[in-house]
Amino acid sequence: MAAHTLNIYMLSLGRMHCHIYGRNVHKALNRATYATALSTNNSSPNKGFPDRGSRGPIIRRPRREEGEPRKDRMPVDQDWTAVYPTAAPFRPGSVPLPVRMGFPVKRGVPPEKKGNLELIKIPNFLHLTPTAIKKHCEAMKLFCTEWPSALDTNVKCDEHFPIKIECKDYVSAGTSIRNPSARIVNLRVSICPNYDYAMYLLTVLYHESWKTEAWESEKTVADMEEYSWEDSPSQKNALSTLVRMQIAGEVEGDAVRDKLLGRPEVQEYRESVIRLMNEGESESSILQYREAVKKLLKL
């Protein structure tokens, strides 16, 4: 479908271009023919290369004349799939459209397609016209079988083939032909009539997940999915601050630590830090953190 729309667009563009730029193109062509007709023909075969003096002229194979470009010999009802049977770079001589592409230098117009690197660089869908796709389909039909007549409703399809794979394709204008969202492939599983089997599978998975593998013990803080306040630098900082705030008298030890941890303001502080880390920052979470710290430091 993309190729189809592209075609229409190019045709309309072509028509528009013919209208606006056509005259200029013709003029240029005329000028070109006029110029070549008048140019003087040097006797030496090496046009443009100055005389090399004592070393003598370089013998070069004379360059053969270019033939007429293909587009000039194209009938309107031609077979386009013969011009572009496969994906191929843009050939200005084979595409009969007056396409222009590029930056208009000095308030001019975009450069023409002849010798235009921009048009060659970009991917084109000239090999995917509707006729070409029809031909592909015809060719592939040889390898296809009939759709099973029994599967005529969606319900029956779901029953026999519960697992569905969805691939998404995207068409958009942008700098890259790849769309990262297209990489996501959805696998849908609906709960099949065999409910017991599904539960059995889930139970097995559940128990498997409880088994700790040897490499799981190497999990670092960076791997953690959620932030845990215990044993975090935040907890250590808070505790050390509180300990320093208690002026001498209290003995360091686990009992003091647990007592400090049990205080309501410490709990509030813990909540706010967890919220900040897990949910990300926002004005409200920062304000909550602020209130908690104020209570902690008794300001």
Partner 1 sequence: MAPTAVSNKLKATHRKQFQELQEAGEKGERERTMTLHRLFPLRLRQTIAQVRLLHGSGCGHQLEEVAMEPELRKETSVFRTQVNDPACQSERHLGQYYTLPTSHLHTIFPHGLPARYQQQVKTFNEGCVMVRQPALELISYLKAADYSKPAVRYLLYGLKGSGKTMSLCHTIHYCSTQGWLVLHIPDAHLWVKNCKELLPSSYHTSRFDQPIEASNWLRNFRTTNERFLSKIKLRQRYTWTKRESTEKGSPLGELVDMGVSRVKSSSDVVGAVLKELRLQAAETEESEGFRLAVAIDGVNSLWGRTTIKKEDKSPVAPEELTLIHNLRKMIDNNWCGGAVIATLSQTGSLYSPSSAYLPKELLGEEGFDSMDPFIPVPVSNYSEKEFESCYLYYLDRHWLQHPHSKTDEGKKEIIFLSNRNPSVLERLCAFL
- Residue 249 interacting with partner 1 (CB under 8 A): no
Q: Do residues 31 and 37 lie in contact, with contact meaning Cβ atoms separated by under 8 Å?
A: no
| Site stretch for partner 1 (CB under 8 A), options 68-76, 110-118, 211-219, 233-241 | 233-241
Q: How many residues bind partner 1 (CB under 8 A)?
A: 25
| Site stretch for partner 1 (CB under 8 A), options 20-28, 85-93, 135-143, 291-299 | 291-299
Angle CA 277–282–284, to nearest 5: 105
Q: Phi and psi for 112 in degrees, rounded to 5? A: -75, 175
- Residue 248 interacting with partner 1 (CB under 8 A): no
The number of residues making up the chain comes to 299
Q: CB of residue 295 vs partner 1: minimum separation in angstroms?
A: 11
Which of 48, 244, 258, 264 is in the footprint of partner 1 by CB under 8 A?
A: 244
The separation between the first and the last C-alpha atoms of the chain, rounded to the nearest angstrom, is 67
Q: CB of residue 156 vs partner 1: minimum separation in angstroms?
A: 53
CB closer to partner 1, 46 vs 234: 234
Cβ-based neighbours of 100, under 8 Å, separated by 6 or more: 17, 21, 109, 110, 111, 112, 113
Of 80, 70, 89, 77, the residue nearest 130 (C-alpha): 80
Q: Do residues 273 and 234 lie in contact, with contact meaning Cβ atoms separated by under 8 Å?
A: yes
CB closer to partner 1, 113 vs 275: 275
Cβ-based neighbours of 179, under 8 Å, separated by 6 or more: 170, 172
- Residue 296 interacting with partner 1 (CB under 8 A): yes
CB closer to partner 1, 165 vs 247: 247
| Site stretch for partner 1 (CB under 8 A), options 66-74, 124-132, 146-154, 285-293 | 285-293
What tokens were used for 226?
């959620």
- Residue 247 interacting with partner 1 (CB under 8 A): yes
Interaction site with partner 1 (CB under 8 A)? 233-234, 237-238, 240-241, 244-245, 247, 269, 273, 276, 281-283, 286-287, 289-290, 293-294, 296-299
